[in-house]
Amino acid sequence: NFGGWGAFDPEAGEMAGGHLPLTRRTMLPDLIDLFAPWFFIRSFAFLITCVEIAMFLISMYVGHVYFDGAFVKNNDMGGPSEETLVSMGAVSTPLIKNQFQFWRLFTPLFLHAGVLHIASNLLFFSQCAYTFERRWGRYAVALIFFLSGIAGNMLSAVGNPDMTAVGASGALAGLLGADLVYIYLNWNFIPARESRVELCVVTMIILLNVMIGGSKGNIDNLAHLGGLVEGGICGFSLVKILVPDQEPNRDAYRRGGIIGTLALYALFFITLYAFPSS
């Protein structure tokens, strides 16, 4: 039941206990299945995709009309300038800390540095978000997305105070963190081969991001790390336990996720203001 946000396909192969595999079990998947498994229009994932694309087009328009162009030479991602992104709400530690523009921890989730940036983010997002939304529900995925994205931007603001940061990568990392928790909580309820394959896939994606991030100086690795950690923490409160009657610690997990999230956010503000501005 998805609350009227799309009908479940009974031929898709939902497994015992309500677990949904990452991809459809079909011999000849169509293009939608290749790029967006379990796609359905009336979903949070599709809404966010549309908003991300719209905001990118707006940022290009703002760059073209008010700044130095929609595409600037020193942006190897293929997009507007840093000044354009800052004007639209990019992470800027001095503005967050000294002018209390805390909304800059939220708005970067809808901004991207260029065509390559948004294309890679949305491709990855489409590969997993619809599956997670069918598993856990739209509200759980939305909360994980925003809480993780903001947490990633918080760590970026503290750890990279001179960097201007945009993108939903922290939120995407948070979805992976939540999926690791989902696998852990349901290890005994998911068919063994399915759980092991998914664990390997998610782990390889995380390691690949670490390797790519370590080789390029313009990738905000702290945002990825913050999102991954917060996704795992809030995942204990938000992901679905397939057989809740057989998990005696389910209430403790839920409370732990809430307490952990509050503690992480509090730690950010303490750290942000514990040290004098440079």
Residues annotated as part of the active site: 169, 224
Tokens of 35: 């790029």
> Could you tell me which of 140, 145, 108, 159 has the C-alpha nearest to residue 267?
159
SS3 content of the chain, % helix, strand, coil (to 5): 65, 0, 30
How many other β-carbons are positioned within 10 Å of the β-carbon of residue 45? 26
List the beta bridge partners of residue 91.
165
Residue type, 257: G
> Phi-psi bin for 18: left (phi > 0), alpha (psi -120 to 50), beta?
left
Q: How far apart are CA 259 and CA 202, in angstroms?
A: 26
Handedness of CA 69, 73, 77, 83 (dihedral sign): negative
Backbone angles phi, psi at 126, to 5 degrees: -65, -30
Q: How far is CA 236 from CA 1, 25, 175, 256, 263, in A?
A: 21, 28, 12, 7, 15
3-state secondary structure of 42: coil
Alpha helical stretches, state H, 67-168: 82-88, 93-98, 115-136, 138-159
List the beta bridge partners of residue 165.
91
Tokens of 116: 């390559």
Contact present, 122 and 49 (Cβ < 8 Å)? yes
